[in-house]
Amino acid sequence: MLIPTEPIGSIPRPEELIQGMRDFAAGGLTETELEALYQRALRETVEQFEATGSPVISDGEQTKPSFATYPIHGLTNLAPDGVIIQFADGHTRQLPRLVSGPFRYRTYADSYLTQAKRHAHVPVKQAVISASALSLLYPPDGIPGYPREEFLEDLVAEAEADIRRCLENGAANVQIDFTEGRLAVKLDPSKNLLHRFIALNNRVLDRFSENDRSRLGVHTCPGGDRDSTHSADVEYAELLPSLFDMKVGQFYIQLASEKDRRHVLGIIRKHALPGQRIFVGVTDPISPRVETAEEVRERVLEAAEFIPAERLGTTDDCGFAPFGDDTSTTRQTAFAKIRARVVGTQLAALDLRL
């Protein structure tokens, strides 16, 4: 396939696993029993992912509590009353709050990669959370004896380690999840927060060689959870010009669910830099309707009017279940959409005579 196509990451967990997580939290399941459910879900997810024909897969994030909190899950220096993220349908997600230093990851993403590679027969990519998202753990009023800049130094070092371990462990590439980019503009229309986020992420990326950065990417979307978003009302033009300042070689950009895709593609054409590969979203995980391969082909051909084919890739707009308890999309729907993306991308490559 001459137009690369990749998933964003998460796949809805089996109902058996979700119920098992509930039972474990209530004390009705042992850790060993829960781990068995995790491993069964992982094995089945890799098998079904490969059955779609996807040339690159992920682990479906089956054993992550969420795309954002996996590094800190189980830490003892956190309180539950952190930043609240409001979604358009009224539901919320809440981050924890750091109460003392030093800040350290409890889990690195390469542990998920190692498990997935045991079952996979094709390259496996690995998603990691951005340093900017985790910077929200630090409270506005500070932490006695642990100043913000010291926290940020620790955070940058941990984010670097998270990425580097994945590269060294053979990840096809590493995707930095930056779903807070559009949200930053919503919270601060001056874009000062957005620029601080990008500068922080670049502090991490500056620690990598140019060759390493060619294997790194960044994903942006307006947040996706329970068929709702947190920042889809933010004009993409407020984010994209700054996004391309991120020092990575690949960009995974939500597009299928945009009301005016050609407008967004025009912004991408104007601001993307030479050498940056653009993976455009061609399936919408929030919509219950499965796109046809022909619809995907048309979306790819549309994108090719704005992005040179040698710099074009395709992806899904977002993960299908970024939070472990999200049941708004079925596994069957997720894999059907992925299959349509793969076939539709192949059809477009034929039309483009690649």
Burial of residue 168, with CB atoms counted within 10 A of its CB: 0-12 exposed, 13-18 middle, 19 or more buried: exposed
Does residue 245 lie within any of the structural domains?
yes
Does residue 2 lie within any of the structural domains?
no
- Is 312 in a helix, a strand, or coil? strand
Are the beta carbons of 37 and 16 closer than 8 angstroms?
yes
* Mean pLDDT calculated for residue range 22-38: 94
**Domain residues for 143?**
15-351
Does residue 7 lie within any of the structural domains?
no
More confident residue, 2 or 150: 150
Q: At 42, give phi and psi (nearest 5°).
A: -65, -50
| Listed range (230-239, 306-315, 343-352) with the worst mean pLDDT | 230-239
| Listed range (46-55, 60-69, 131-140, 159-168) with the worst mean pLDDT | 60-69
Question: Could you tell me the CATH number of the domain that includes residue 161?
Answer: 3.20.20.210
Does residue 9 lie within any of the structural domains?
no
Q: Tens of pLDDT along 286-299?
A: 999 999 999 999 99
Torsion of CA 220, 223, 44, 70, to 10 degrees: 90
For residues 21 and 121, give the distance between their C-alpha atoms in angstroms, rounded to a whole number.
28
Q: Tens of pLDDT along 123-138?
A: 999 999 999 999 999 9
For residues 218 and 127, give the distance between their C-alpha atoms in angstroms, rounded to a whole number.
9
Q: At 167, give phi and psi (nearest 5°).
A: -60, -45
Tokens of 296: 């995907």
Distance, CA of 178 to chain centre? 7
Q: Give the number of domains in the chain.
A: 1
Beta-carbon count within 10 A of 184 CB:
24
Does residue 235 lie within any of the structural domains?
yes
Does residue 10 lie within any of the structural domains?
no
CA nearest to 176, candidates 137, 208, 139, 149: 208
Question: Helix (H) and strand (E) counts for the chain?
Answer: 12, 10
* Mean pLDDT calculated for residue range 253-268: 96
CA nearest to 155, candidates 104, 194, 95, 96: 104
* Mean pLDDT calculated for residue range 193-221: 97
User: Which pLDDT value is given to residue 352?
Assistant: 94
Q: Tens of pLDDT along 56-114?
A: 999 999 999 888 899 999 999 999 999 999 898 888 899 999 999 999 999 999 999 99
Are the beta carbons of 57 and 120 closer than 8 angstroms?
yes
User: Which pLDDT value is given to residue 353?
Assistant: 86
* Mean pLDDT calculated for residue range 20-24: 93
For residues 62 and 41, give the distance between their C-alpha atoms in angstroms, rounded to a whole number.
7
Query: Where would I find the beta strands (DSSP E) of the chain?
Result: 78-79, 84-86, 92-94, 97-98, 126-129, 174-177, 216-220, 250-253, 277-283, 312-316
Tokens of 122: 């094709």
Distance, CA of 46 to chain centre? 18
Does residue 3 lie within any of the structural domains?
no
For residues 170 and 123, give the distance between their C-alpha atoms in angstroms, rounded to a whole number.
9
Does residue 302 lie within any of the structural domains?
yes
User: Which pLDDT value is given to residue 318?
Assistant: 94
Is the pLDDT reported for residue 1 higher than 80? Answer: no
